[in-house]
Amino acid sequence: MSLGHQVAVLYIVGQGYLDEIPAERVKAFEQVFHSRLDDRYLDAVRELEQTKDLSDAVAKKLDAAAKECTQQFLAKAA
């Protein structure tokens, strides 16, 4: 896993996005999240890797990706 992806996961955990995800489903959520980052937010991942800085702009993109994934993941679980 790249540094950018690692930082992204740590960020969303710290922000509480996984609080509603059952522990046994966290790995599946993480896979969905990484796919979303690669498909729609790769620029944020690359910026993290290049600058080693979590700027406000990158944080907003990670928040958006996490919200999208959480909604999608919880909807499928219901």
Residue 39's H or E segment, with its range, is helix 26-40
What confidence tier does 75 reach under pLDDT thresholds 50, 70, 90? confident
Task: Tell me the whole-structure pTM to 2 decimals.
Answer: 0.90
Assign 61 a pLDDT band (cuts: 50, 70, 90): very high
Q: Are 23 and 68 in contact (CB under 8 A)?
A: no
d(CA 63, CA 8): 9
Please write the tens of the pLDDT for every residue from 7-39.
Answer: 999 999 999 999 988 899 899 999 999 999 999
Which pLDDT score is estimated for 76?
75
d(CA 51, CA 22): 33
Whether 77 shows a pLDDT value over 90: the answer reads: no
